[in-house]
Chains A and B, each alone.
Chain A
Amino acid sequence: ELKVEQNPLFLSMQEGKNYTIYCNYSTTSDRLYWYRQDPGKSLESLFVLLSNGAVKQEGRLMASLDTKARLSTLHITAAVHDLSATYFCAVGGTNFGNEKLTFGTGTRLTIIP
């Protein structure tokens, strides 16, 4: 059974600082997703990582994937308040035809001015 672990679960950081969220998963997969969720809102797709060594960047966020280590990271550079949200990583399904995403439990990020 695929398990996805994120850490930390809670992260409070000051504006301007850098930090990294980690996502470990237990079974081979070559599809890794990062989503953002604001309170009371839906999930917004941030990154789709489809191969070993994939790196994607959007603004102050950068995501990477190491399929051999079964590890993805979401790096935040010079955090700003607007980045406060809950971030989920999700691993793509290994069953043909069912793109089931197995989610981590999320990282609640709070940026303090």
Chain B
Amino acid sequence: EAQVTQNPRYLITVTGKKLTVTCSQNMNHEYMSWYRQDPGLGLRQIYYSMNVEVTDKGDVPEGYKVSRKEKRNFPLILESPSPNQTSLYFCASGVVPLHFGNGTRLTVT
């Protein structure tokens, strides 16, 4: 089954404690991206990757890092999380249309 798998689904952490949200897809897509969803703002792109070792910033990249060492994986790294990064995060892959993962609800206290 074609899937975009994110982990964890829920994460509560404290300010400054580094965390990684993993994302894996089994559709051999070259393109992957990360979005955050906030009430009243819709979804906004954080980072995207066109292929292995090729990443670039989206609209709201501050405070985030990504890496793309393998085609199937695209982890999102928060090296020093802050409360304003409390949000619902979605990984996506493919192009037309984008396929979204199930989301990771992150709370930073």
Contact = CB atoms under 8 A, between A and B. Distances in A.
B96 interface: yes
Given A42-B103, A43-B90, A99 B40 contact: no
Nearest to B96: A48
A100 interface: yes
Interface in B27-69: 31, 33, 40-45, 48, 50, 56, 58-59
A88 interface: yes
Interface residues of B, number: 23
Contacts, number: 53
Nearest to B88: A40
Interface residues of A, number: 22
A25 interface: no
Interface of A: 4, 31, 33, 35, 41-43, 45, 48, 50, 88, 90, 92, 97-101, 103-106
